[in-house]
Amino acid sequence: MNFGILSAKVQDGVKVIDVTKYGAIGDGKTLDTKAIQKAIDVAAKLGNGTKVLVPTGRQYLISTLVLKSNIEFHLQGNAQLLVSTKKEDYSVEGSLIANDVKNLKISGTGSINGRALEFMSHYDTVKEIWMPKDWRPKLFILTKCNHLEITDITIEKAPSWSLHMLGCENVLIDGVKIKNNLDVPNCDGIDPDHCQNVEIRNCEISCGDDAIVVKATLQEIDYGPSANIWVHDCLIETQDSGLKIGTETTQDIYNIVFERCEIKTSCRGLTIQLRDEGDVYNIVFKDINFTSRYHSNPWWGRGEAISLTAIQRNPETKIGKIHNVLIENVKGIAENSIRVNGTMESRISDIRLYNVDVTLKRWTKYPGNVFDNRPTKAYEGIETHDTPGIFIRYSDRVVLENCSIAWENTIPDCFTNAIQANNVTGLELINFKGESANQAKYKAIDISKL
């Protein structure tokens, strides 16, 4: 007889597999990967939503766990998965992985601890950033999952990306908390990548890199576009972009809605960075408050309030288009401009800002007077530029309705026009409110054809 199946309990009509019955110790020192994996494998054979129970009150040392179809992986109470810091313990580059599975649930109030600082070599006091060692794992790599649910768990101290979903469909992420170090690079929060039909809601995210970022990375397998993604009611703190699309845009990204989110701090509030051949369109940012500020030089972003940029990654890159973007009921404080910045190679079109109110001021110590175009080798990465309230370049059919720009009392010399536009067609201003930062030196609205 199969001892694993005999040891399954039934709770509320669902079979439950307790990982401690398969040898998991939970002392934070003994590697429990094999024991927990055995429980997962038994649960997968039973299927029908069998629950793999990781009991509360213990800390389980793990490396790579492979999750399977038709199960629920449940972190009970304060149960914690503690990742191994030894590369030789891992079978792949991630801690919790799944490949081509269906009906997978990851639930519970427990946590996974990525031990970020143990994967860092040192803290660079000049650059104000932790410097990684040669190797560090992602925490979740979930590939080609269909009907995936992740609810209520906590992810903390991720050494690299926290929750990467590649080619997944029909996904719900609800009530997840991410508590990463703000000065560790590349520890993104949630990355839907070539994913379709995704809802991300009620999450609290604190991380050094992008908080919620929709991507279409370069892959050998065609996973399709990123489409039909709804992000709402999330609280965000980051040293990079709060809500973002890109920079990896190798296929189309469309039908994306970000709404009812609070961005406590960021280096860019709302961001679309098109750098590759995919098109980005039918995008909505709605009912969002944000703060955006400068950080030290290694961090991408220079305090831009809103940044829509279409810039070739390399001179030979075929680049797509950004079009049909609505930004509505958005309010923020920032150290740098709202940017709608296309290029000769890729003009941005059909952009509407409605009820967007931004106040510009400076409060950090870092040098200003720049725009951040990275990543690009086709253009200057850090571009010296004055700071208008709204900057529009190489764009068509941009509408600003019921929008306002305000300046704080202490105004640096680099703060200039309320609106500055060049090489733009079809710019429409409806009930716009805003003066220049220095009315003796600059026009409120400066439009040129250059």
DSSP string, 179-198: E--TTSTT--SEEEES-EEE
Q: How high does pLDDT run on average in the chain?
A: 96
Q: Among 237, 355, 351, which Cα is nearest to 292's?
A: 237
pLDDT at 1: 28
What is the pTM for the complete model shown?
Answer: 0.96
Structure tokens at 441: 């030196």
Q: Quick check: 50 and 17 in contact, CB under 8 A?
A: yes
**24 Cβ partners below 8 Å, 6+ apart?**
32, 35, 36, 39, 54, 60
pLDDT < 50: residue spans in the chain: 1-4, 6
DSSP strands (E only) in 22-101: 27-31, 50-54, 59-62, 65-67, 71-75, 80-83, 94-99
Q: Among 286, 229, 240, which Cα is nearest to 260's?
A: 286
Q: To the nearest 5 percent, what fractions of the chain are helix, strand and coil?
A: 5, 55, 40
Distance CA 75, CA 154 (A): 10
- Name residue 392's beta-bridge partners: 340, 421
pLDDT at 197: 98
Q: Among 107, 207, 230, which Cα is nearest to 159's?
A: 207
pLDDT at 450: 55
| Tens-place pLDDT, residues 189-247 | 999 999 999 999 999 999 999 999 999 999 999 999 999 999 999 999 999 999 999 99
Distance CA 243, CA 258 (A): 7
**Percent over 70 (pLDDT), the chain:** 98
Distance CA 399, CA 407 (A): 22
Neighbour-count burial of 300, counting CB atoms closer than 10 A to its CB (0-12 exposed, 13-18 middle, 19+ buried): buried
